[in-house]
Structure 1
Amino acid sequence: MTGPLRRIRALPLRSRLALLVATAVAVAVAAVAAACWFVTRAQLEHQADATLRNSNIDERYLTNLYNYCLGNAQIQPSPYSGLTVQLIDAQGTVCLAPDSSKLPVTEADLAVVNREGSGALHTETDADGVTMRVFTYRVTVFGSGLPRTDLGVSVARPLSETGKPLSTLAWVLLLVSGIGVIGAGAAGLWVARSGLRPVDELTEAVEHVARTEDLTVRIPVEGEDEIARLSESFNSMAASLATSRDRQAQLIADAGHELRTPLTSLRTNVELLARSDETGRAIPPDDRKALMSSVKAQMTELASLIGDLQELARPDAAQPGPLQVVALHDITRTALERARLRGPELTITAELAPWYVRAEPAALERAVVNVLDNAVKFSPQRGTIDVVLHRGELTVRDRGPGIPADELPHVFERFWRSPSARQLPGSGLGLSIVARTVQQAGGEIALLPATGGGTEAVIRLPGAPQPPPDAPRT
């Protein structure tokens, strides 16, 4: 059994479907044909038995036959064509017409003669080897000069009268079944080819993409069945892959563009220092100090840019680390300390109500630091920054120049920087990282124009159950 199953599994899918359809139809047709044959046989046998029971052999003929067997009369040709008629007395002696073949006498026949039964129906083989269906009943006759006598009358018909029609019916059913199975196999193959045509198109499309890396291929979607859903899924997957590849190419291009500026400046400064050492012409101390400060700043900017790129290189669906229940007010307080160090001349006010969230602590702290860094960067000298945390909504408001309305839709795009910020340090990745971290924590972020000038950054994060008092604080 394992061998045939293995060979069937090795067949193409359409061949297996056609074979399955043909097999199912063959089983159904065979069951219907068998049921039809058995029902017909039962009906024919019932009809033949009823005909035997209602044969109504004339008593005068039976009396004449009985007298013939006694040697007291001449027998006339039987008026019952196709029937075998014989008489049986109580001792089992048979009286038979000359043109008939003798039937064996059974105990059931003798029981009928002896008034122990009203009739007996059975199948026997006559002296000529013909299988006969026999019905025996009792009759009273008067022989010449003899008293009234009880005899059994056996009436028989050959079973071939029903066997031949049944044989013919069997051959007809077999022929019709064969034609039906062949037709079902052909129809199954046609249905399989038609139904699997979209699968063939999908296979060709996948092979084309694998061979050419062309993600613009789309499969026509027809109908609303499973094949149509599969085609839609493939088209969506191809579109997503194309978008991902375009974003990857754009990320590489933008990263190269952003890296070029600090690398070019760093190379220029290093070349000036190297030329000074090679030529022996010393650079004035103040200029050398400025060059070294520039090199240090460019190295810091380059390291920050590479860190941001590594953060963005992670898949969007991947979490940067295990989520924990952390105190957003504590993380904000720590970020405020760093912000005050970067803007010592600024006034930063804070109102932080306790709020616990489920997030990755390091990533969330970096996101809050980035928001505060933006506020420090764009705040005027001796400006004020207001930080408020209330019921999961963290608001950071500065008094800077603000963001034009036409630039607000782009602030969370990678490497995007407003024209007014291109002269300031930064890579344009900070807000995109903030947005990604907040979304991974199940929250949302928005930048809005503040009333009276400046920008207001709003971060909303869903709350989490407060950890027990003895749990370590993050």
Structure 2
Amino acid sequence: MSTRAPVARRITRRLTLRARMALLTAAAVALAVAACASAGWLLTRNQLYRELDRRLGAVSGGPPGARDGYRDGQPPFHGPRLPRRPEAILAACPSEPTGTGAQNPPPGPYEIMQLVRADGRRCTVPGAGALKVTAEDVQVARGERDHAYHDGTGVTASGTEDDVRILTRSFRLPDGTPAAVSYAISLDEVQGPLDNLALLLTAVTALGVLVSAAAGLMIARASLRPVDELTGAVEHIARTEDLDTRIPEEGTDEIARLSRSFNTMTAALAASRERQQQLIADAGHELRTPLTSLRTNIDLLLRAEAAGRDLPEETRRNLLASVRAQMRELSSLVGDLLELARPADTAPVRETVALHEVLDRAVERARLRGPGLTITCDARPWHVHGDPASLERAIVNLLDNAVKFSPPGGTVTVALDGGELTVRDHGPGIPAADLPHVFERFWRSPSARSLPGSGLGLSIVARVVAECGGSVALRPAPGGGTLARVHLPGAPAPGD
């Protein structure tokens, strides 16, 4: 493999985008101009050669195509024009030019003329110069071809060597012997204009490349101005971390789409950073209460031990129970924070989950947390796609919310039918003004602030249900209490 391509790619990468656009524009225009110039030169060349061939056909006795003989050295109509007594010339067959000089001009309106025998030998005509015999001439002399046009070299009657255009035509002697006669006209009148045309087209191509490079640079500079603005905005954000920076969105082209996408990205980043800061602030606020309580209780135990005075057994037992409760609350809060902080792209692998079985396990856990409550469960088979651990955690959180707000000796009714999970309690219910906020992180109604909890349980429920493609809603239940409805897409049997 050639090493030129990698080197060219490395050089191209070092160029700016503006320079690359100008270079590509210049290259495209250069190729187009070069193709047009080459096509124009070839068309002109073909036209000039056709004119030479027409003249050769005219001076040779008419358009080639007939194989007639001759009478008295004069060709019939459409036959070749021959020198007088061609059979004598062919018999003697001088191979070198004879009678050359300015005093012996060629015998016709052509520069060079000679005969060719069937064996390939040339027979020069006095005062008509000589030509180099080619394989095409030999084929014509043998009668295998009627005529042949080609370029060649020859010696004129004045003794100078010249590039010529040659027409070789076949004829037959009176005894039927095949032979050929060649006519030649100098190519100077063709090569001179072609050389001048090539120089002119080369100059036009070079000028076109320069103009196109300049135009490409101007177009690239104008086209990339929005990109420069975008680059400036990105550098400003990287330097100041100001995600409120916006780029003007003008037009409908690709640059405008890029600007809109950039503004959407910065808005999303700003919202994410705001949520992150809010999460940190809320987590710090929620952690402060159990940590303060833990520190107070532990300090009291340490002071009592340092003073050598034993606390009453009941007081000591209450302090240790408080410490254990605060530790549980901290563990639950940390687990909830880890669940909510989990990025969406690292979500657990989705699999087919028997939701009714997950619900049975969650109900058993809820019964342990509310021993004085009656929890009924009517679950029909239903299979969904999701993470079993996350689904169980979400259902437990939903049941814990019902258990926490149920009055002593109350009843919690749980049902699963056709992909709809309902949890109904008989507690105080949720005020209508609080319903829009129940799934927000760390949000707790004024009536629930004295109860244990972090305010993250329903947020986790909403997230897990959304990951499974479902929906969740809370509303006041008829007769008091709260009714939670969860819709999860799935099927009664796995694989349906």
Fold-level similarity (TM above 0.5): yes
One of 25, 46, 50 as aligned partner of 2:50: 46
Q: CA shift at 1:134, angstroms?
A: 6.9
Distance 2:17 2:25 in 1: 12
Distance 1:155 1:340 in 2: 118
Give the alignment of 1:85-234 within 5 angstroms: 89-90=85-86, 91-92=88-89, 98=103, 100=105, 103-107=111-115, 124-128=154-158, 129=160, 130-131=162-163, 158-234=186-262
The answer as to whether partners of 2:166 and 2:184 remain within 8 angstroms in 1 is yes
Give 2:327's aligned residue. Answer: 299
Listed as ranges, the gaps of 5+ residues in structure 2 are 62-80, 90-97, 117-121, 126-140, 171-179
Q: Deviations over 1:282-341 (max 9, x none)?
A: 44444333333222222221221112112222113422x333333222222222222223
Distance 2:13 2:434 in 1: 60
* Correspondence 1:345 to 2:375: no
Give 1:404's aligned residue. Answer: 431
Structure 1 vs Structure 2 CA RMSD = 3.6
The answer as to whether partners of 2:18 and 2:220 remain within 8 angstroms in 1 is yes
Distance 1:367 1:104 in 2: 105
Q: CA shift at 1:52, angstroms?
A: 5.4
Count residues in correspondence. 425
Give 1:423's aligned residue. Answer: 450
Aligned residue type for 1:291: L
The answer as to whether partners of 1:87 and 1:96 remain within 8 angstroms in 2 is no
* Correspondence 1:381 to 2:399: no
TM-score (norm 2): 0.75
Q: Deviations over 1:389-432 (max 9, x none)?
A: 11111100111121122211211111011111111110000011
Give 1:22's aligned residue. Answer: 26
TM-score (norm 1): 0.78
Q: Deviations over 1:189-240 (max 9, x none)?
A: 2333333333333333333333332322333334334333333332222222
* Correspondence 1:11 to 2:11: no
Distance 1:137 1:352 in 2: 106
One of 393, 398, 403 as aligned partner of 2:420: 393
Distance 1:272 1:118 in 2: 126
Distance 2:468 2:164 in 1: 92
Distance 1:135 1:397 in 2: 109
Distance 1:361 1:305 in 2: 21
Aligned residue type for 2:281: A
State the secondary structure of the residue aligned to 2:25. helix
Aligned residue type for 1:20: L
Give 1:363's aligned residue. Answer: 390
One of 458, 461, 464 as aligned partner of 1:434: 461
State the secondary structure of the residue aligned to 2:485. strand
Q: 1:318 to 1:136 in 2, by over 3 A?
A: closer
The answer as to whether partners of 1:411 and 1:431 remain within 8 angstroms in 2 is yes
State the secondary structure of the residue aligned to 1:409. helix
Give the alignment of 1:277-296 within 5 angstroms: 277-296=305-324
Q: Deviations over 1:357-407 (max 9, x none)?
A: 222222211211111111111112322221111111110011112112221
Aligned residue type for 1:234: F
Q: CA shift at 1:455, angstroms?
A: 1.0
Distance 2:244 2:305 in 1: 56
Q: 1:132 to 1:442 in 2, by over 3 A?
A: closer
State the secondary structure of the residue aligned to 1:459. strand
